[in-house]
Structure formats: structure tokens, C-alpha cells
Structure 1
Amino acid sequence: MHCHATRNVIHLRALLGACIALAGLSSCALLQGSPIEIYYDSGVTAGGVQWEDTLTGSGEPAVEDNTVTIHYVAQLQDGAPVDSTWDRGVPMTFPLSTPPVAGLREGIVGMRPGGKRSMLLPPALAFGALGIPGRVPPDASIHFAVDLISVAQ
């Protein structure tokens, strides 16, 4: 699977400076010294899954022959709920090679345990032209917020 990834950098010192200026404060100890940088990755997979890490985990990244355990929230683009393991109180475990929703394979590959990733699955990798009657309209893109709990061989 080929993926185009981007490393984004937020210069926290500049961001704090703007916030402090808006608040009308003239100086702050946080603005002195070296800049603080926060790195996060984002990208688009070959199949069109858009993703952005909101928290990078640690350890070995997930690969397609792993079994993963995740918590997730799935929503339509307008925010309407589709499904949530958090609501059920039980995470989901599955082989990454055969995920319950096809786009999760592309979206989870490369995540590290403890990581959190936001992803937008295109219709073809979500629920397709049929959708899920009464829950997901046909040809809907689905937003997933995924917490990768563990990766096993």
C-alpha cells in the first residue's frame, strides 16, 4: 500500500504568542527560550483514506498481518453517529488483513499502540453504494476516530 504522508509542525511558541497578544498580555515566560514544536503526521492512502494522527503512540507500527485491538467512534460527515465501541464499553479485536470496514486496514496501517488517529473513509472503503439502511446513506464517507490499544503478531 502506498501512502502520501505529511509531517506538520506547529510552533507552539508562536501560537502561544498570538493567544497572549489577543488576551492583551505584554510578556510571558513561555515565550522566552527555544521554540516548542509539536509534530503530527497526516496523509492520504492509495485508496483515498484521509488520516491525521492526533496522538502518536509508541512501539512497532501496525502492519497488515497483525491483529489489532481498537476503540473507535464512527460518524457521518454531518456528525450523526454510526457506531462506537466506546458506547458498548468493549474494544474490537480483528486481523488487520480482514477488518470489519475495508478502509480501516488502510487507515490503521502505520499506527503505533497508544496512538489516536482521525480518518475519513471514502464510500468505496466504507459502506459503499448500499450504505446501511436506516443508519448510513448510500455512498457516504465515514469519519472514524480510532484509538489503537494493541498490536499482536
Structure 2
Amino acid sequence: MLNIGVYSSKTNRSFSGGSLPRRARGCIFASRPPVKVLIHSSHESRVDITSPVTAAVEEQKQQQLEAVEQPSDNIAGVTRKKRPGRQADSTDAVASFLTRRFGIAGGLAWLGFLAIGTLGEQVKTRLEVANEINGTKDVQDAPEVVLPSGVRYRDLRVGGGQNPIKGYLAVVDYIGTADGVEFESTRARGKPIVFLYGSRPFTGGMCPGLEEALGSMRAGGRRLVTVPPEMGFGERGSVLRATEHVPNKQGIIPPGATLVYDVELVRVSIPPS
């Protein structure tokens, strides 16, 4: 069996191997640092045990290396390890690409492009509102127009804004009567109807005949529309029920009723994405 020990010049005993053999007591190790000694026994195996002193030195070196690799700040007597800084990711993929490819100048150029685009949209909106106001005018004794579907209308005010487009938001104010009896008035309750033009199902007292009449109107315009039963609610009629946004809505449209709408197209706009 192999015994390994570390011996110093001041003792004849080892740290791990017991007393020295009798023939080794005469050895003197002067003032050299502790060394690793291998003692062979009759067996062929060999065991290498590291000196505790050497292990302590290696551990100290490792701690010094770690201290160099991970610098720390000493603030108010408290040592804190530095954490790697986090870089903010841009939510705009185009801006990120241009910044990486062309540097800060590329990112600033893209920012300027977006700013000009936003300004252009604001100018366009202001021009549309101005045209709607300036192009709107009241008319008297306008001729009645009869559509192939049987829907009739007569303009009371011609608008100067945009025509309704399928998928766009349309804001409508109207007073609706069925066979001369009022069934709904958005003007009385102060809440116009907002809906996607061309969508189904219809909102409130809207019907196919009224939607057809709105198609040729411009924002700011007002019409008196007459809808025959087959383009209104037909033989089934309709009952308007209260909703979350309009809790006081109520009205009955009897079967086979002819509908008359005093309708105003307040606004046409692109729906929010």
C-alpha cells in the first residue's frame, strides 16, 4: 500500500502518513517548502494525494482570478458585483436594421421619415375637415331620386366630405319612423350610430335600404330617405332592444312597414387598426 505525506524540517511526523520509517529518520529536509512525497509499498498501485498547503494556494489563486474577471463596486462599504448592462431592443424592426447597417444616421433618417408621414396625415385630415365644412351647403326643393330597388331620397343638405367606403367607419344621426310612428331618434338621445359600412348584421334601426341611400352621400350631408318594406324589415318587422351603450333604446317596427329616415352622415373615417 502506498502512503503519501508532507514532511517539514521541524518534525519527523507527516500530516497524513504517520511516523517516518526508522530508516528515514536520519533525513533532513533543510528549510525547503513542503513537498509531495510518494512512498511505494510492495503493491504496484500508486496514489497521488495533493498537499493541503498546495491546495490552499491554488484555491487562493482561483479566488484572485475570479475577482479580476468579475470586478465589483465598493459603495458605502458594501461590495456589489457588477451585472452586465441590458441593452434595450427597438420595437421598430426597420429602425433597428438601419441603425445596425448605417449607424445612428440611418436611425435618425427613418425617424424623420416617420415624422413627415405623421405630419402629412395630420395635414390631410385637416384638409378633409376644411373641405367638408366649405363644401357643405343646404339645398331647397331638391328633386327626389328613385333608385332601382325602390328606395327614394331627397337631399336636404349636400355634404363636402368623403363618401362611405366598405369597411370604413360611418357616423350617422337620424330620426326613423315606421308608417308615420317614430321608432328611433339618435338625435333625441344624443348618441349617433357608429358602424362599419357594408358590414352585417345591421346596427339598431339600420336596414339595407338606408345603407343603399348612404352610399351616394358625402360626410356632412343630410337626406330624407323613404324605404319600402322589402328593403326595410319586411314582413317580420323588428323590435329594438336596449344595449349596454344605449340602455334606453326601444322601438317597434311593425311587419310590412314603410320606413322614412331623416338621416345625416356626420363623419366617415378609417377604422383604428
For residues 60-101 of structure 1, the C-alpha deviation after alignment (integer angstroms, 9 at most, x for no partner) is 222344321010100023x21111111221011111202432
- Partner of 2:252, secondary structure, is coil
- Return the alpha-carbon distance in structure 2 between the equivalents of residues 102 and 38 of structure 1: 27
SS in 2 for 1:87: helix
| Aligned counterpart, 1:81 | 182
* 1:114 to partner: Cα distance: 1.1
Aligned residues: 116
Match of 2:211 in 1: 105
Task: Tell me the distance in 2 between the aligned counterparts of 1:44 and 1:135.
Answer: 26
Tell me how far apart the structure 1 counterparts of residues 189 and 140 of structure 2 sit (CA, whole Å): 33
Tell me which residue corresponds to 1:130: 236
Q: Which is helix-richer, 1 or 2?
A: 2
Q: Which has the larger radius of gyration?
A: 2
Change (3 A) 1:42 1:60: farther
Q: What is the percent sequence identity of the aligned residues?
A: 29
CA distance in 2, matches of 1:88, 1:38: 27
What do residues 108-136 of structure 1 show as CA deviations (whole Å, max 9, x unaligned)? Answer: 01111111101011112211111136822
- Correspondence 1:45-60 to 2 at 5 A: 45-60=147-162
**Distance in 2 (alpha carbons) for counterparts of 1:121 and 1:150:** 22
Distance 1:108 1:76, change over 3 A: same
Q: Which runs of 5+ in 1 are unaligned?
A: 1-36
Q: CA RMSD in A?
A: 2.2
Deviation larger for 142-151 or 119-128? 119-128
1:146 aligns with 2:263: yes
Alignment correspondent of 1:71: 173
Task: Return 5+ residue gaps in structure 2 as ranges.
Answer: 1-138, 240-250
**Partner AA of 1:139 in structure 2:** G
Alignment partner, residue 61 of structure 1: 163
> In terms of mean alpha carbon deviation, does 122-131 or 142-151 score higher?
122-131
Larger RCO: Structure 1 or Structure 2 (Cα < 8 Å, ≥ 6 residues apart)? 1
Q: Determine which structure has the larger strand proportion and give its number.
A: 1
